[in-house]
Structure 1
Amino acid sequence: MAEVGYIRVSTVDQKTVRQLDGVRLDKVYEDMCSGKDTNRPQLKSLLDYVREGDVVHVHDISRMARNLEDLITLVKGLTGRGVQVRFHRESLTFTGEVNPMQDLMLSMLGAIYQFERSMILERQREGIIKAKEAGKYKGRPASVDREKILKLLASGLSIRKTAKEAGVAASTVQRVKAEVGVI
């Protein structure tokens, strides 16, 4: 039986030290990416690693998933394989045994975290709209020098040589050509 920890933060600026602090673990998987979906490398590794009898420790429900469907799928998938899932902040442990109160708590808390994420994204969109209206938001700076690519193409270089000279992929050169209508 292995005691396995799963830790997730959304950005590299955030610290993981408070999550599962003081919990004795045999192995820890740590992701530094959004919890918007389950496409996370360390989560996938954890799912491949754990076996029947293992316990997966997670600081809180929002660290495992930020939407209810993914949360329920992960917990049921793990417990269906005989793996326990323990959420420390909420003091909930899922074993696969029928427990209507725990299922209700998981669903309610999962829905709250999903709602919270939706509200954050809505406020972010509103802020971007306001910043654009005020002329303060210009978006991400262009990462491709379109003018340089067009000049190189106009000088007679092939797509591959232009890509190499501009430091971009050939598909980027083709996309720039298509955007400006150069054949």
Structure 2
Amino acid sequence: MKSSIKKMGILIAAAGLFGSVNAMANSPLSYNYGALQFVNQDVDDYDCNQDGLRVSGSLELNSDFFAVGSFSDLSDGRCGSDALSIGIGYHTLFGADSSLYGTLSAENIDVDYGDSDTGLIAAVGLRGFIDHKVEAKVQLAHHTAFDGNTVLSGGIAYWFANRFAATADVGLGTESSEIGLGVRMNF
């Protein structure tokens, strides 16, 4: 547990450092952000309903490419896992206020009471504004760790301030499903 808290602290600090070093003018759709969510996840094969925190972020490397990363620490007392992913993505405009993107990430899942596994995540998605304060996304991702998991997810972000949004996400997968609520900050 202490190592999980330490990992989350390191990710938050790194996101803040990189965000401030690479600060760009606020655009309508930013790939420079840090996010914190409370996640409830249901893993089918293990009859496990776990919840906890996920820290994630994105950092624009140039006008087309960005880095992504996340760390989750989920448990329910009899099952649980830590998941760490890091990768690279590419985005391109899809209209005035939206973009298409693709990411390729490496993922490590450390199960509390079982074996751990490492794999890849390949994802494609569409993000865009549906209103001047409401951003929506849809994404299809395939995870290769363990038996594999293909997830169709969607999310919404309500920008209640210039750089801050409340977020809600839902993911429906072949092996697991999840709901996440949280906040995001653009850098």
| Alignment TM class, shorter chain as reference | under 0.3
Structure (1 or 2) with the greater helix fraction: 1
TM-score by length of 1: 0.23
With normalisation by structure 2, the TM-score equals: 0.22
Using CA pairs below 8 Å that are at least 6 residues apart, which structure has the higher relative contact order? 2
Q: Higher Cα Rg: structure 1 or 2?
A: 1
> Which protein is richer in strand relative to its size?
2
